Amino acid sequence: MKKVFDPKRADWESLLERPVQNFEEVEKVVAQVFREVKANGDISVKKYSEMFDGFIPEDLQVSTDEIASAEAKVSPELKAAIQLAKQNITTFHTAQKTEKVSVETLAGVNCWQEKRPIQKVGLYIPGGTAPLFSTILMLAIPAKIAGCKEIILCTPPGKEAEVNPVILYTAKLCGIDKIYKVGGIQAIAAMTFGTQTINKVYKIFGPGNQYVTVAKQLATKYNVAIDMPAGPSELLVLADDTADAAFVASDLLSQAEHGSDSQVILVSLSKSLIEDVETEIQRQLEDLPRKEIAAQAIEHSRLIYIGSKEEALELIDEYAPEHFIVCTANPDFFVKGINNAGSVFIGNYTPESAGDYASGTNHTLPTNGYAKQYSGVNLDSFMKSITFQKISAEGIRKIGPAIELMAEAEGLQAHKNAVTLRLNKIKASGNE
């Protein structure tokens, strides 16, 4: 793990670089898979499932029998934990409902805004190196609360063409029954174009590796919206001497174990904490089953000492972490000051894992610096806002002349006419 003390501003850019990914190669593969799935549908989805995932599914859709039999394979303790998480995620996302906004901007000019669910959505649940059933809770729960009519789910099965039973149990618990055994680029292509088995959707949600993320970005060229680029997990911890080094190390490792391309960063106002965390990381790493993956992520991670809290905040805002943990004596400076972060965790007893699973917030978050312009998934991600207006004769009499002038100034006579005809009628009726 690279250790840096008081880095110069000129070095920030290279210091904060994410692990290098060769997107050009990935883009070529993604474009090829998209072309074929668009032309051949299921046949190409199966071809690429065999090529990239090593299985040939007879049926792409998970059968009702498979879904029903999954329940018995999940322990009662795990079911209870998933149900507790579901409850908290439901509570937090239900609270995000907003009232209709309605204003009379001028007497007789009424404008309002209402939300409507996106009717057809596709959820991608990663399954390459770990079956992320918790992601189903994060996507299906807000989709249901929003009122999305058609919700489909794609996830890569194991080599035996079987989807992990916990994924099936969680999907059923959330009321999702259209589940497809398809992962990676071919899943995103199928949801973009539609195939004989998998329906086309209007918006695709969910995190994934670089293949999934690049595929989602290409999907936007075919009139399909996406939640955001949600790639390899990352975490930045800001800590001072009041932090517990073992806790900090455990949080950093929790995101490092997601993938070798994950990145974790400690920014500290204390040199001794940096030393302690470094020792703790090595100690805790030894016992992790995913030690090799985490160790690779740690390779391109950073321990950064910065003496000034103002500079530390600037550096963190520049990095725009997916997850930001603040463990300092006075967290408010950072909590109130942060502009760019996907989700913020405050204090020694708020591990990032809480947000990953069960506290209630969403774990599908922007990575790779996209927290500068994107929000994480929330209830509004599954909705659109429509504006409405109703203008009375009195209202058009008031704003009509301004519209006429503006339309004329833009050289758009027909726009002006649409008002003038109405104003003339009002004049003729003597109701001025």
Ligand X SMILES: NC(=O)c1ccc[n+]([C@@H]2O[C@H](COP(=O)([O-])OP(=O)(O)OC[C@H]3O[C@@H](n4cnc5c(N)ncnc54)[C@H](O)[C@@H]3O)[C@@H](O)[C@H]2O)c1
Tallying the residues shown for the chain, one arrives at: 432
* CB 164, min distance to ligand X, A: 12
Q: Is 362 one of the annotated binding-site residues?
A: no
* CB 257, min distance to ligand HSO, A: 9
* CB 337, min distance to ligand HSO, A: 23
Told to judge if 322 belongs to the known catalytic residues of this protein, a careful annotator would answer yes
Among 53, 317, 322, 356, binds Zn ion (CB under 5 A): 356
Name the one range near ligand HSO by CB under 6 A: 13-21, 74-82, 132-140, 300-308.
Answer: 132-140
Q: Nearest CA to 203 among 224, 180, 182?
A: 224
* CB 356, min distance to ligand HSO, A: 4
Distance CA 144, CA 86 (A): 12
Compute the 3-state secondary structure of the chain and give helix, strand, coil in percent, each to the nearest 5. 50, 15, 35
Selected catalytic residue, list 93, 280, 300, 323: 323
Nearer to ligand X by C-beta: 128 or 331? 128
* CB 377, min distance to ligand X, A: 8
Told to judge if 363 belongs to the known catalytic residues of this protein, a careful annotator would answer no
**169 is an interface residue for ligand X by CB under 6 A:** no
**212 is an interface residue for ligand X by CB under 6 A:** yes
**86 is an interface residue for ligand HSO by CB under 6 A:** no
Nearer to ligand X by C-beta: 260 or 328? 260
Q: What letter would DSSP give residue 72?
A: G
Amino acid at 204: I
**What number of CA atoms fall less than 13 Å from residue 355's CA on the CB side?**
25
**363 is an interface residue for ligand X by CB under 6 A:** yes
- Strands 109-117 and 343-346, by their bridges, are unpaired
Alpha-carbon Rg for the chain in angstroms: 26
* CA distances (Å), origin 415, targets 105, 400, 403, 418, 421: 21, 11, 8, 5, 11
Q: Is 300 one of the annotated binding-site residues?
A: no
Cβ proximity of 122 and 189 under 8 Å: no
Among 192, 356, 366, 383, binds ligand HSO (CB under 6 A): 356
* CB 208, min distance to ligand X, A: 3
Name the one range near ligand X by CB under 6 A: 97-105, 107-115, 256-264, 297-305.
Answer: 256-264
**132 is an interface residue for ligand HSO by CB under 6 A:** yes
* CB 360, min distance to ligand X, A: 16
Residue 311's Cβ-count burial label (10 Å; 0-12, 13-18, 19+) is middle
Residue 134's binding partner out of ligand X, ligand HSO, Zn ion, none, with CB under 5 to 8 Å set by partner kind: ligand HSO
Distance CA 241, CA 245 (A): 9
Distance CA 72, CA 166 (A): 10
Among 181, 216, 363, 416, binds ligand HSO (CB under 6 A): 363
| DSSP states of 201-221 | -SEEE----HHHHHHHHHHGG
Q: Nearest CA to 71 among 181, 180, 166, 175?
A: 166
- Name the closest residue to ligand HSO (Cβ): 233
The interface with ligand X within residues 127-146 (CB under 6 A) comprises 127-130, 132, 135
Q: Which two tokens stand for residue 140?
A: 């299906």
Q: Is 93 one of the annotated binding-site residues?
A: no
**260 is an interface residue for ligand HSO by CB under 6 A:** no
Cβ proximity of 213 and 246 under 8 Å: no
Nearer to Zn ion by C-beta: 298 or 306? 298
Amino acid at 339: N
Among 233, 260, 362, 368, binds ligand HSO (CB under 6 A): 233
Distance CA 94, CA 113 (A): 19
> How many CB atoms lie under 10 A from the CB of residue 332?
10
Cβ proximity of 265 and 235 under 8 Å: yes
Binding site for Zn ion (CB under 5 A): 356
For ligand X, the binding residues (CB under 6 A) are 29, 52-53, 126-130, 132, 135, 156, 183-185, 207-209, 211-212, 230-233, 258-259, 262, 322, 363-365, 367
Which residues participate in catalysis according to the annotation? 322-323
Binding residues for Zn(2+): 255, 258, 356, 415
| Residues near ligand HSO, by CB under 6 A | 132, 134-135, 233, 255, 322, 356, 363, 365
Binding site: residue ranges?
A: 124, 186, 209, 233, 255, 258, 323, 356, 410, 415
